[in-house]
Amino acid sequence: MAKKGKDTNTEEKILNAARQVFIEKGLSGARMQDIADKAEINKAMLHYYFKNKEMLFKLIFQETAGKLFPHFEKLMDSDLNFFDKIRSIVASYIDVIIQNPYIPLFVMNEMNKNPEIGMKTFFEAQKPGFVKKFRQAIENSIEMGLIEPINPIHLIMNMFSMCAFPFIAKPMIKILTGVEEEQFRNLMEQRKVLVAEFIINSIKK
């Protein structure tokens, strides 16, 4: 009854291959043949399991972009104080990116190049929870006199900028600072606490 016979192992292989190739080369740079090769299947199978390149890409993109929105809502609802919430978010967000270092650039780039591909609706579905609550928490903390006044949008931008940008700029950072792969990992590990403290230091009253 299941639309695709037994174990659908091939579908998995295709998705894994597609994920690698798309993330490495982007939509326009990826070749269907590359994906087929990496999946060790015939190119025709790609179109058997997925309509065409765009469909396959959209699937991978949305799956990947989803990782950029961990479920911070629980965290926002927790009874941690505001500063500890920042500490938690920064640490776990950088951790997510350490585990998937290529996705920020991939997502940002494809969003710019293919504005149509239906990510507006996709993200608008994901959005409401976290950003709204975080904004509210910032405004509360300002009212309570816990932190200096700041436009919440700027604070959020600052936070995500410092978390994500170093991964996007990694090749340039390596060249400009002479840092190598291992040291880079160490630096990113350090940032899990450093960035939060940097922010808190700046806004605390």
Partner DNA sequence: ACTTTTGTTAACCATTTGGTTAATTATATG
Partner DNA sequence: CATATAATTAACCAAATGGTTAACAAAAGT
Can you tell me which of 1, 2, 44, 176 binds a copy of itself, judged by CB under 8 A?
A: 176
* Position 145 contacts DNA (CB under 7 A): no
Contacts of 179 (CB under 8 A, 6+ apart): 173, 187
* Position 12 contacts DNA (CB under 7 A): no
Q: How many amino acids of this chain bind a copy of itself (CB under 8 A)?
A: 54
133, exposed or middle or buried, with CB in 10 Å at 0-12, 13-18, 19+? middle
Structure tokens that stand for 115 in this block: 């504005």
Instruction: Please list the helix, strand and coil fractions of the chain in percent, rounded to the nearest 5, in that order.
Output: 75, 0, 20
CA atoms within 13 A on the CB side of 129: 12
Q: Are 94 and 195 in contact (CB under 8 A)?
A: yes
| CA nearest to 91, candidates 203, 202, 200 | 200
Of the listed pieces 9-17, 35-43, 81-89, 152-160, which binds a copy of itself according to CB under 8 A?
152-160
> Which residues within the stretch 153-192 sit at the binding site for DNA (CB under 7 A)?
none
Of the listed pieces 2-10, 70-78, 88-96, 160-168, which binds a copy of itself according to CB under 8 A?
160-168
* Position 117 contacts a copy of itself (CB under 8 A): no
* Position 25 contacts DNA (CB under 7 A): no
Which one, 47 or 133, has the nearer CB to DNA? 47
Q: What are the CA-CA distances from residue 21 to residues 7, 14, 90, 189 (Å)? A: 23, 10, 29, 27
Can you tell me which of 54, 143, 148, 189 binds DNA, judged by CB under 7 A?
A: 54
* Position 67 contacts DNA (CB under 7 A): no
Q: Long-range contacts: 9-12, Cβ < 8 Å, 24+?
A: 10/39, 10/41, 10/45, 10/49, 11/49
Of the listed pieces 38-46, 71-79, 92-100, 190-198, which binds a copy of itself according to CB under 8 A?
190-198
List of residues contacting a copy of itself (CB under 8 A): 24-29, 102, 105, 107-109, 111-113, 115, 119-120, 123-124, 127, 131, 148, 150-151, 153-154, 157-158, 160-162, 164-166, 168-173, 175-177, 179, 187, 190-191, 194-195, 198-199, 201-203
